[in-house]
Amino acid sequence: MQEVARAYSIPFPDPDAAFRLVVFPHAGSGTAFYHFLAKAFAGAGIETLTVAYPGREIRIAEPPPESLPELLATLAPSLAQVLSDGRPFIFYGHSLGGLVAFEMIRSWQAGGLPVPALFVCSGRQAPGIRGDILAMDTLSDDAFIEAVITRYQAIPREVVQHPELLELILPALRSDFRMVDRYVYRPGPRMTCPIVLANGVDDPWVEEKTLAPWENETASLTSRWFDGGHFFIRNSLEAFQDYLLASCRMRGLCPAGGA
């Protein structure tokens, strides 16, 4: 098989895992943020593969994408290759990651490629709802960073105390929000995989009415609310893990008494 550029990280490899959890990070983030999640699922016998976007971490030398289709083009060959071993896998996307995972599934389904057995999405309204989004491209660097910190909570405020770090991550940050700004939803066939929604009750970016249209994207939709805000998985990790694993067991992805 032809070698392709690696676009993922597997912090806890497990060839005997029942299935793989493929994580799509939120805006301004990367594989490192989700290390705690990978560690938790490794303890449950699940191998986590975290997607690496261009312009950061192991892909720092690559230019950040200008659009979501461009991002998908940089991810698809690597992910398709690593997920071609026959083991079942599920997609989990948070916020921007939910949108990336959604469009990846639609692209693979349209192309006749294997799709995940389950799509788990958090912190993301239905793709056809634009919501209250600032035109981030029009902001100065200072105003942009302030919005990222206070409005979207994508990076900690401490970052502004390290100008060299800020300079390093700013292009990727702008790229992430540019992709959201420029995204245009186009209705298409329903996904063949079920969708599982998980959200924090205090998340200002999602509510029942903005989540409801997800039902148009699949024949099987379930939803649950957890204690916490946009990043509820930090303080409700065990409950989230139990919910995800129960959803997998319902679909025969792991033994009833295991994982």
**Catalytic residue numbers?**
95, 230
Half-sphere exposure of 32 (CA within 13 A, CB side): 7
The span from the CA of 259 to the CA of 241, in Å, is 10
Q: Which residue, among 12, 19, 10, 11, has the nearest Cα to 86 in the 3D structure? A: 19
Measuring CA to CA, how many Å separate 256 from each of 18, 172, 259?
12, 41, 8
Measured in whole angstroms, how far is the alpha carbon of residue 79 from the centre of its chain?
A: 14
Residues paired with 224 in a beta bridge: 198
Tokens 């192991």, residue located: 58
State residue 219 phi and psi, 5-degree precision.
-85, -10
Do β-strands 195-200 and 20-24 pair in parallel, antiparallel, or remain unpaired? Answer: unpaired
CA pair distance 136, 105, nearest whole angstrom: 27
Do residues 116 and 79 lie in contact, with contact meaning Cβ atoms separated by under 8 Å?
no
Q: Residue 95 and residue 93: Cα distance in Å, rounded?
A: 7
* Alpha carbon distance 126, 129 (integer Å): 6
Cα 18 vs. chain centroid, distance in angstroms?
Answer: 21
